[in-house]
Structure formats: structure tokens, C-alpha cells
Structure 1
């Protein structure tokens, strides 16, 4: 199921990400860096079905390893400590992060050879688009 996401993805566009970061509580300085950063997303799956998602940029590299539908503790790029669950819903990889009574979702789907990541916090939606590297 996750196979379509496997590979190295290079970010080509990011819309409304500053508003999304504001909505989840990211401070000004971190947002400035976050808005300039165009990370690569590297997705792998091992024989046990453990998925590894690595976001790699010149500023910061973060990595999460998980099995679908199994909650785990995540430290996000902006240093939030979240309880996270990733599941497959209608062909989308949906990452739900909960912390301090708040919740955000990141929905990733592959469409027309692009990986579209929709970051949703309340009524704020950011869309980040990636293309697969050869």
C-alpha cells in the first residue's frame, strides 16, 4: 500500500505554509527558516513493514519510523512532542499528530507522479508539492 510513496521526493512548491506553522504555534524565527527550506522527503519500507520518512534539508533533518496504525512518540522539526499515528485512508498516507490538546493532520497522496502533502490545522491548509527524483 505504501509502495507508491517509496523514493526520494524533492519539494517544488509550498503554499500557505507560514499560516500553517503559525496555526500550530511555530515561532517567528523558526517560521522564517521553515519558509525558505525546501526539504527532500525520503520514504523507505523495510521487510517488517516499518516505514521510514526522512525530511532532509540544509537546515535540519528529521526522521520518523513507524508501522501503520500504531501510535508512536514523535519530535517534530519545530520541536513539538507529539503522539502520532499514520494510517492509509483511500490511498492517502494520513499522519495525525496530537499534542497539548491540539491536533493536526498531514495527508500525503501521489497524483500524476507528484507527491502532494496537505497540512491541515483547523481551517488552515498548506499544500506542499514534491516530484520524484530519478
Structure 2
């Protein structure tokens, strides 16, 4: 089984700006998000998982969850979402539904291509972006 635990750094992005536009992000938010290099950190203790995405400026995502159990998460833009995360082989799959706009449901797939690399596949509406991370710890 793939070891999801670890700390990773972004090394490349594809179509990320278009994805942010599809999510309704404003000009300044897009410029900031595309200029920063985020870290991805994943841990689990027994059945409690943590998933963090952060930069040297601030933590962007900080979620604690149990696999396959719905929970609520508030995005940086203030949007409250229902989230469910599960494992499918070498993938950690996150399904996120905004409470105020369920039609804007999105799916985030973190796929381990080997022990040291993760591809984050972001889907919102019909826009798909990819972000590539490399293990640093």
C-alpha cells in the first residue's frame, strides 16, 4: 500500500489559473495563488487524518478528518463546504460540495505516482488542473 504520510513541495502546475477562475476566484487571489510555492503535508494517527497546504505566508488548508465520513470545511474565500475523503488504491480522493452552490461540486484527487511524487488533479465544472508535488520528508 502507498504511504500517504509525508511533506511535499510543489514543483509544477498545469492549468491552475483557469481552475481558480472556474471556482470564482478574483484577480488578486489568482495572482497570489499562482505566485506562491505551497507545501503539502499529510499525516494520520490511527483513524484521524490531517491534510495541510501552506506557504511561507500562511496555511491555506488545514483539515482533520476520518476517511469516508462527511465533515465541513471553510475555504480561504469563506465558502463553507461539505467534504468527504476516501482512498482508492494509490489515490486520496476529496469530494467537496459548496453548501451555498451544490452545483459547483468539485473533486480533488491526490495520486501517488511513486513513493516520492504526488499529482493533485483538481476539477471544477469542466476545468481540470494538475499540480505536481515532490516529497521532501
Global fold match (TM > 0.5): yes
Q: Report the 3-state secondary structure (helix = DSSP H, G, I; strand = E; otherwise coil) of the residue aligned with 1:74.
A: strand
Q: Report the 3-state secondary structure (helix = DSSP H, G, I; strand = E; otherwise coil) of the residue aligned with 1:34.
A: helix
Q: Report the 3-state secondary structure (helix = DSSP H, G, I; strand = E; otherwise coil) of the residue aligned with 1:78.
A: coil
* One of 100, 109, 116 as aligned partner of 2:111: 109
Report the equivalent of 1:87.
Answer: 86
Q: CA RMSD in A?
A: 1.4
The alpha-carbon deviation at position 55 of structure 1 amounts to: 0.7
TM-score, with normalisation over the residues of structure 2? Answer: 0.90
Query: Number of aligned pairs?
Result: 132
TM-score, with normalisation over the residues of structure 1? Answer: 0.92
Q: Report the 3-state secondary structure (helix = DSSP H, G, I; strand = E; otherwise coil) of the residue aligned with 2:56.
A: coil
The alpha-carbon deviation at position 14 of structure 1 amounts to: 1.1
Whole-angstrom distance in 2 between the partners of 1:54 and 1:75: 13
The alpha-carbon deviation at position 79 of structure 1 amounts to: 2.8
Whole-angstrom distance in 1 between the partners of 2:81 and 2:68: 15
Report the equivalent of 2:126.
Answer: 123
Q: Unaligned 5+ residue runs, structure 2?
A: none
Whole-angstrom distance in 1 between the partners of 2:37 and 2:67: 26
* One of 56, 59, 75 as aligned partner of 1:58: 56
The alpha-carbon deviation at position 76 of structure 1 amounts to: 1.8
1:54 and 1:63 in contact (8 A); partners too: yes
Whole-angstrom distance in 1 between the partners of 2:94 and 2:76: 15
The alpha-carbon deviation at position 26 of structure 1 amounts to: 1.0
Q: Unaligned 5+ residue runs, structure 1?
A: none
1:25-77 CA-partner distances (Å, limit 9, x unpaired): 11111111001111101111012x11101111023203001111101110123
Whole-angstrom distance in 2 between the partners of 1:119 and 1:92: 13
1:60 and 1:77 in contact (8 A); partners too: no
1:76 and 1:82 in contact (8 A); partners too: yes
Q: Report the 3-state secondary structure (helix = DSSP H, G, I; strand = E; otherwise coil) of the residue aligned with 2:107.
A: strand
